[in-house]
Amino acid sequence: MPSRLHLVFGGELVDPSKTKFKDVKDLEVVGFYPDYASAHDAWKAAAQRSVDNAHMRYFIAHLHRLRDEELEASAEPEALER
């Protein structure tokens, strides 16, 4: 089974109702994960660490979709937000 590479990253947003980062130089790369379940666990842990800051958001990027656009999209959620 091919790896479904995911990236978990986050940072402070300008406005908590939008997805524009305050400063992209300050983005935190939580890590790269070989499957959605591992990425979700990492996303959840990062989101919990920043629960007191309403402007902090973490996302899961489906890098496997960027590598091979011919693959059918999976049933996984596009991105999760805290």
In the predicted model, is pLDDT for residue 32 greater than 80?
yes
pLDDT (tens digit per residue) in 42-80 = 999 999 999 999 999 999 999 877 766 565 655 555 545
pLDDT score of 74: 53
Report domain extents, the chain: 6-67
Give the up-direction half-sphere exposure of residue 68: CA atoms within 13 A in the CB hemisphere. Answer: 10
d(CA 19, CA 48): 18
Q: Find out whether 45 and 8 touch, Cβ atoms under 8 Å.
A: no
CATH assignment of 6-67?
3.30.70.2400
pTM: 0.75
